[in-house]
Amino acid sequence: MKPRAGSKALIREINEALVLDVVRTQAPVSRATIAAYTGLSPASITGITNKLLQQQLLVETEIERGTGGRPARLLELGSEGVFAAGVRLSATEALAVVVDLRGGVVATHTEPFDSTTPDRAAETIATAVAAAAGSKTGKLIGVGVAVSGVVDQASGVVRHSGAMEWADVPFQGILEQASGGPAAIDSYVNAYARGLLFDGSFTGRDLLVISVGTSLGAAVVVEGRIQRGFNGAAGGFAHTRSMTDGGPARPCHCGADDCLETYGSLWGLQQELQRSGSNRELDHDADSPLVADAAVHLGIGVANVAKVLGPERVMVGFAPEARLGTFAEKTTAAFLGQFQHSNTPPPGIDTVTTDHAAVARGAACSVLEGLFSARESARDSQPEGLQPARTA
């Protein structure tokens, strides 16, 4: 198919992303090997790599010696010239990390704040990123921010965040105005999943990632890509309805009753303590029956989603503050119990601790991903030898 009129710049961008992706996955790598992987001509590879070297996206490293001719210099990603930032935003702080092109964390900073208004949150993020990046002399290409709740990444809108008490907040635009640069936003769990996909930590194609913390979330990975759904609504796991025990209704911050959020999240557990007349903090020893009940509801809820989607694996990530006694183990047991009479075996399930920095790092990886992935809109405009870059 012929390239569309006016698409030369876009084709150039796609080819650059394709070359960068090969270097990311194969480094150190020769120009000849890049040409073999991409199908691009040697002349095209030379022009692209020279430009990427000037931009410090690539650097020349060791020399590859062949059987004859001039030795070839190998290429790898630059580590000093270009960086991305990621932030995990909570109701009390902005945890910022700065990562290099390989996704390695090179700096961190935590900035506390006492107001969850969008403008104040954006200002705090800008301050945190500036502090984290202060010692770096390279170019910061963008900021990714993870927010608890339902986030429409494409439009840059936080549809709902109980933790921040936000509804339909166009936070990407607010953040870009405060920071003066490009930004991207996503949910906690999608940001964490992005980090897994960027690293190649998950080598399969279909994955369900559940996050358990102050709130609940789900990331749905199908054919190696995070599914967004209409208006970014895919993964609305927290507000599925849970089976009740016949007791009083449990009001959710979304306005409905008996959402899974009210049973399986830390917010829901704390609300249940308050309804029982206690104002103390949750204690995994004293409140073990409450935690055990939450594990049953959570395990059943995860199993229901897994039965619909049929993933290869399920990963349940517990925030550090959610590692309450045997919460993780009992959640796994409840999950597996739902497959006792199933016609197919359960997917593999792992429970892990998702530290806050991993979520921030995943948000930064969402910025980096744009360097390595061909645009969806250009898949029907393929230049010489171009094979679609791997995307996630």
| Inside any domain, residue 3 | no
Distance CA 35, CA 374 (A): 17
- 163 and 117 in one domain? yes
Beta strands in the chain (DSSP E): 58-64, 72-77, 82-89, 93-99, 105-112, 139-147, 150-152, 157-161, 166-169, 183-187, 207-212, 216-222, 225-226, 313-318, 348-353
Among residues 78, 94, 129, the one where a domain terminates is: 78
- 244 and 217 in one domain? yes
Distance CA 254, CA 261 (A): 10
The residues near 332 (Cβ < 8 Å, ≥ 6 apart) are 299, 316, 349, 351
Q: Helix, strand, or coil here: 264?
A: helix
- 86 and 54 in one domain? no
Tell me, what's the pLDDT at 5? 43
Q: Which domain holds residue 174?
A: 82-194+358-369
Tell me, what's the pLDDT at 352? 95
- 215 and 346 in one domain? yes
Tell me, what's the pLDDT at 39? 93
- 244 and 126 in one domain? no
Compute CA distances 97 → 126, 141, 369, 372, whole Å.
Answer: 12, 13, 16, 20
- 59 and 188 in one domain? no
Tell me, what's the pLDDT at 65? 63
- 213 and 143 in one domain? no
CATH number at residue 121: 3.30.420.40
> What amino acid occupies position 152?
D
Tell me, what's the pLDDT at 285? 73
Among residues 78, 100, 130, the one where a domain terminates is: 78
- Judge contact between 381 and 11, C-beta under 8 A: yes
- Judge contact between 304 and 237, C-beta under 8 A: no
Give the number of domains in the chain: 3
Per-residue pLDDT of the chain (392 residues; tens, 9 = 90+): 344 444 788 888 899 999 999 999 999 999 999 999 999 999 999 999 999 999 999 999 877 666 556 677 899 999 889 999 999 999 999 999 999 999 999 999 999 998 999 999 999 999 999 999 987 778 999 999 999 999 999 999 999 998 999 999 999 999 999 999 999 999 999 999 999 999 887 777 899 999 999 999 999 999 889 999 887 888 889 999 877 777 889 999 989 999 999 999 999 999 999 888 887 888 777 678 899 999 999 999 999 999 999 999 999 999 999 998 899 999 999 999 999 988 889 999 999 999 999 999 999 999 999 899 854 433 333 333 333 333 33
| Inside any domain, residue 33 | yes
Angle between helices 42-54 and 31-38 (to 10 degrees): 120
Distance CA 300, CA 241 (A): 11
Cα first-last separation, the chain: 25
- 209 and 188 in one domain? no
- 257 and 218 in one domain? yes
Contacts 24+ apart (CB under 8 A), 177-181: 177/122, 178/119, 178/122, 178/123, 178/125, 178/126, 179/122, 179/125, 179/126, 179/129, 179/143, 180/126, 181/140, 181/142, 181/143
| Inside any domain, residue 2 | no
Tell me, what's the pLDDT at 377? 35
| Inside any domain, residue 23 | yes
Tell me, what's the pLDDT at 69? 61
The residues near 18 (Cβ < 8 Å, ≥ 6 apart) are 38, 40, 374, 386, 387, 389
| Inside any domain, residue 289 | yes
- Judge contact between 368 and 198, C-beta under 8 A: yes
Tell me, what's the pLDDT at 242? 79
- 117 and 224 in one domain? no
| Inside any domain, residue 377 | no
Distance CA 203, CA 132 (A): 31
| Inside any domain, residue 216 | yes
Question: Do you find a cis peptide bond into 182, omega within 30 degrees of 0?
Answer: no
| Inside any domain, residue 387 | no
- 60 and 88 in one domain? no
Tell me, what's the pLDDT at 68? 57
CATH number at residue 62: 1.10.10.10
Taking alpha carbons only, the member of 265, 93, 238, 242 closest to residue 159 is 238
- 123 and 109 in one domain? yes
Tell me, what's the pLDDT at 64? 66
Distance CA 99, CA 16 (A): 20
Neighbours of 308 (CB within 10 A): 10
